[in-house]
Structure 1
Amino acid sequence: MSGAESAATVVGPDTRFRLHALTWREDGAEWIVGRRETRTFVAMPEAGIRAIRLLQQGLSVAGCEERLLAETGDEVDVADFVRALIGLGFVAETEGRPVCSDPVPPATLPRLRPEHVRFLLNPLVPLLPAVLVIGALAALVCRPELMPTYHDLLWSDRGSVVIVSGAVVGWSILLLHELAHLAVARAAGVPGRIGFGTRLQFLVVQTDISGIELAPRRHRLTAYLAGIAVNLSAGATAFLLLTVTSSGSATHRLLAATVLWALLPLTFQLMMFMRTDVYFVLQDLTGCRDLYGDSRAYARHLGARLLRRDAPTSDPSRALPAAERRAVRIYSVVLVIGTVLCLAGLAAYTVPAEIRLVITAVRDLQRAHTGLDLADALLTLLSLATIHVLWLTTRLRDRASRRTG
């Protein structure tokens, strides 16, 4: 909603409002309040929750102020509070007239209802991946020679076959990873949306489950860890199948590669400086509202002080509670070191490797003797180009949305 539309909504002493369906939970000395449909939530004090309840009962602005004064002894500017709610898109009607607001973002798989996946919130469900992982570890102890190595990724002599099979299996596991986040969030009443995103030089598929912050902690952690559970389950299942297939067969080699395609992405999840699944678990356990944003602001503050000792910047972390401030300062170190190492890895390994792939593919294209050789080189070049084009367009889209948001 634009500022002009917000200003056009009259908020007088006798005005009554109808709010959208809101959800809230207590979070320390404050409350987290949000509208799940729009994935918008905000922290507010106890008085804000009481004002919302009074507005939902149909009291006018003046009526709310009088009731709050009688209950708390404090004067509350309910009119200003309502204007803030309008800006957040929490107000549906004013005196029976609809309030203009931004359109609700469409959810992925809208026909998937919470009752369809409610079983995922059962505390016994995590036992399934746990049993699979324990079984795979036991099989590994008994037959350590089955442990896949990086050679298993090159399970075919044809580069195009390796790329296509890796894409099919890897993207299938990735889709299941994101669907797990979506399904658990949907079970908790959060719509969720799957789309592309970027993390530094990485193109990623991500699931926006904003609003899960309003769910109980066990449900939040289940939603954050659901994707990792899928990868572990897929890798463990593939490894268990290795024990019953003939060594050296195409099926055996493909299963060994599948184990790596399922488990290697988990190394990315450990890169907490890029807001991975493990990052959200860490943020929740530390009780931070915006661990990444606050840490980045603190790192910028330190950088400004180092580059310009007379820089008139104040420490943004001082406004945070002591425990949260400590977490932010520690995470800022992880953020800076991780980002530097990740970009260094890009320059030292990824870029040279991709340049080598392109040069080899171009040479193969010029020297192709068969249609299969030609297709192999073309597929390699097309795959690399597609990834980079998707990364660039996603990056530009995200920057444009931040500017207009």
Structure 2
Amino acid sequence: MKLSLQTKLTLHSLTIRKDKKHYIVEEVTSGEFYEMPQVCIDAIEQINQGVLLEQIEIELKQRYPEETVDLVDFAEQLLELQLIKEVDGVTVEVKKSRPVESGFTWIPSSVGRVFFNRFSNKLYVGLLAVNVLFLIVNPQSFPSYKDIFLFETVMPSLLLWMGVSLVLVLIHEFGHILAVRSYDLPAKLGIGHRLFFVVFETDLTPAWKLAPKQRNRLYFGGLCFDQLMLFIALSLQLFFGVNHGLIAGILGLVVLDIFIRTIYQCCFYMKTDLYYVFENCTGCYNVMENGRKLLSQWLPWIKSPPATETFAGEEKTVKLYSIFFVTGILLTCSLFLFYFIPQTIYAFTKILPGFLQPISDPVFWDAAVFVGQFVLILGLLLYSWIKNRAEDAV
């Protein structure tokens, strides 16, 4: 569809909210959100008044002499984003459907506010401080890579760890869900991946309906429940002891899992909860893409993402994120160095002698299942990497 300065546009219904630096524009029908600067908002307001693009461009060039104002280009972007309803009275054919406002709406917002309110926010911060104090005063509680090996055979230990981890992940995501419901917004739970780990993810898109200060509650919701579970586990460890019994072993698994997940949250090269907090506090919403673009100039193994716009004044934030990006990679390497690699080596030292046992011995099958699982996961990982490299090369 040809656009010109003589074009008159009609836009779909939009809701515009002031954010920290710019504005958040919500397309009401689809529920999609976009960040736009003041000059774009002024253009949208005049478009809604029926003003021709030529007149809008002349006025905005006078009002914003330091900005590059091109209304035809802006209109083409609006058309690409499917925000235009009519062009010179001709309807633009697009398929839009309003998302169903569902997703844990059966949980009353009052229940969410029981766990997330002004008092509870301070309580969770206090729990974090107490947990750190627990680990300092009682260093025996500090997690070790051997904490996952509760049984003589490896597979039962790994299955128990996977079960505990699954429960803790669901509790983490339920923290997000209750935080969302505390604002009477719908919450959706899906499945995604980080590196080669399958993870559950709560869709926090409704956060854009809130003011920036309110959004942090949604982003911190999972971490708050993590700290609550860690406090319970550390407290029970003091009661049961950390060296004896299955219960103490399971509590050690809880501490280990939450400790690793908390370190993982600091890995800003992935879009973790803390990354979104950083993004929200700075008001720089393309900081990952712009940070990767900056780092790709010095680190060629970092793939430069598609071009994104760095708004004026965001350069320092992008540089700060780049430091966090590299720090996150170092933290990941530390997790592999001190936990994942030692766990793998220790597991193999325990199971390899099992192959010397008769085929009827359960120890033999423990070793066989573990090695088979390890080879399968490694094969899937290599396949994924090779496939991604092939797609990038096209």
Going from structure 1 to structure 2, the CA distance change for 1:214 and 1:397 (only over 3 Å counts) comes to farther
Say yes or no: does 1:110 pair with 2:103.
yes
Residue 296 of structure 2: SS of its match in structure 1? helix
Question: Aligned ranges for residues 185-204 of structure 1 at < 5 Å?
Answer: 185=180, 189=185, 194-199=190-195, 204=199
Amino acid aligned to 2:168: I
Residues 1:339 and 2:329 are matched in the alignment: yes
Partner Cα distance (2:32, 2:391) in 1: 15
- After TM superposition, give the deviation of residue 163 of structure 1 in Å: 0.6
Matched residue type, 2:40: G
1:282 corresponds, among 278, 284, 289, to 278
Q: More displaced, 164-173 or 73-82?
A: 73-82
TM-score by length of 2: 0.71
Q: Displacement, 1:238?
A: 1.4
Deviation digits for residues 262-305 of structure 1 (CA, Å, limit 9, x no counterpart): 2232111222333332233233333423222212211222457x
2:374 to 384, 393, 397: 384
For residues 235-286 of structure 1, the C-alpha deviation after alignment (integer angstroms, 9 at most, x for no partner) is 1111222333367232223223322222232111222333332233233333
Q: Give a deviation string over 1:24-51, Cα, whole Å, max 9, x none.
A: 32332x3232348867433323343345
Shift of 1:177: 1.7
Worse-matched range after superposition: 68-77 or 291-300: 68-77
Deviations 1:139-170 (A, max 9, x none): 778x8376254244333323222111110111
Aligned partner of 2:83 among 90, 98, 101: 90
Q: How does 1:356-395 map to 2 (within 5 A)?
A: 357=347, 361=351, 364-365=354-355, 367-368=357-358, 370=360, 372-381=362-371, 383-384=373-374, 387-388=377-378
Q: Distance in 2 between matches of 1:113 and 1:52?
A: 37
| One-letter identity of the residue aligned with 1:124 | F
The alpha-carbon deviation at position 348 of structure 1 amounts to 10
User: Is the CA contact 1:114–1:187 (under 8 Å) kept in the aligned structure 2?
Assistant: no
Structure 1: distance between partners of 2:263 and 2:100: 31
**d(CA) in 2 for partners of 1:355 and 1:36?**
54
2:231 is equivalent to residue 236 of structure 1: yes
Q: CA deviation at 1:234?
A: 0.8
Change (3 A) 1:295 1:231: same
Which of 36, 41, 45 aligns to 1:44? It is 36
Equivalent residue for 2:261?
A: 265
1:25 aligns with 2:15: no
SS of the equivalent of 2:297 reads: helix
- Please state how far the C-alpha of 1:72 moved relative to its aligned partner: 9.7
How many residue pairs get matched? 378
**1:38 and 1:366, CA in 2 relative to 1: closer, same or farther beyond 3 A?**
farther
Matched, 1:295 2:291: yes
| Matching residue within 159, 172, 175 for 1:177 | 172
* SS of residue matched to 1:232: helix
Distance 2:320 2:191 in 1: 31
1:320-357 residue CA offsets vs partner (Å, 9 max, x unmatched): 544x3223224324434653674697699856864775
Which amino acid counterpart does residue 90 of structure 1 have in structure 2? L
Instruction: Report SS of the residue matched to 2:269.
Output: helix
Sort the Cα spacing of 1:184 and 1:66 in 2 relative to 1 into closer, same or farther, 3 A.
farther
Identify if the C-alpha distance between structure 1 residues 43 and 162 changes in structure 2 by more than 3 Å, giving closer, same or farther. Answer: same
Cα gap change, 1:338 to 1:265, in 2 (>3 Å): closer
CA RMSD between the two structures: 4.9
| 1:112 partner letter | T
Q: Per the alignment, do residues 61 and 191 of structure 1 end up closer, same or farther by CA in structure 2, a change over 3 Å counting?
A: farther
Say if 2:12 and 2:83, in contact at 8 Å, map to a contact too: no
Q: What stretches of structure 1 of length at least 5 have no aligned partner?
A: 1-6, 305-315
Code of the residue aligned with 1:364 in structure 2: it is G
| Identity fraction in percent | 18
- 1:249 corresponds, among 233, 240, 245, to 245
- 1:96 is displaced (CA, Å) by 9.2
TM-superposed CA distance for 1:377, in Å, is 2.8
Mapped contact 2:104–2:188 kept (Cα < 8 A): no
Which of 117, 121, 137 aligns to 1:122? It is 117
Aligned to 2:33, what secondary structure does the other structure show? strand
For the Cα contact (< 8 Å) 1:146–1:242, is it kept in 2?
no
Provide the rounded CA distance (Å) in 2 between the counterparts of 1:96 and 1:343. Answer: 57
CA pair 288-398 structure 1, distance change in 2 beyond 3 A: farther
